[in-house]
């Protein structure tokens, strides 16, 4: 576990956001903020590129790519 120093104003805003969004922990809130930032960055990059798929397709692709690949029984060393 790590500790992060915040200004009183940032602490107040984070607590308010956590309550409004219904998160049980600050860890959940921060994970959501990071994910939102990543998706926002992806959307910005896609807007600069001429691609044949839209943001939702790209988001699905990224989420699918993040899922762990299940090993077959042969790869896992069992028969």
34-73 per-position pLDDT tens digit = 999 998 888 888 777 776 677 788 788 888 888 776 666 5
In a domain, 3, yes or no: no
In a domain, 42, yes or no: yes
Measured between alpha carbons, how far is 10 from 15 in angstroms, rounded to an integer? 9
Q: How many structural domains is the chain composed of?
A: 1
Structural domain for 15, as ranges: 9-66
- State the average pLDDT over residues 17-22: 96
Q: How far is CA 24 from the centre of its chain?
A: 17
In a domain, 76, yes or no: no
Q: With b meaning 16 or more CB within 10 Å and e meaning fewer, what string describes 11-48? A: eeebeeebeeeeeeeeeebeeeeeeeeeeeeeeeebee
In a domain, 75, yes or no: no
In a domain, 59, yes or no: yes
- pLDDT of 71: 64
Q: What is the pTM of this model?
A: 0.57
- pLDDT of 27: 94
In a domain, 43, yes or no: yes
In a domain, 1, yes or no: no
In a domain, 33, yes or no: yes
């Amino acid at each position: 576990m790590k500790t992060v120093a915040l200004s009183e104003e940032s602490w107040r805003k984070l607590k308010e956001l956590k309550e409004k969004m219904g998160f049980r922990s600050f860890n959940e809130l921060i994970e959501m903020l990071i994910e939102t930032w990543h998706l926002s960055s992806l959307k910005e990059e896609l807007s600069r590129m001429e691609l044949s798929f839209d943001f939702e397709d790209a988001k699905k692709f990224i989420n699918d790519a993040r899922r762990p690949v299940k090993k077959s029984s042969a790869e896992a060393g069992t028969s």
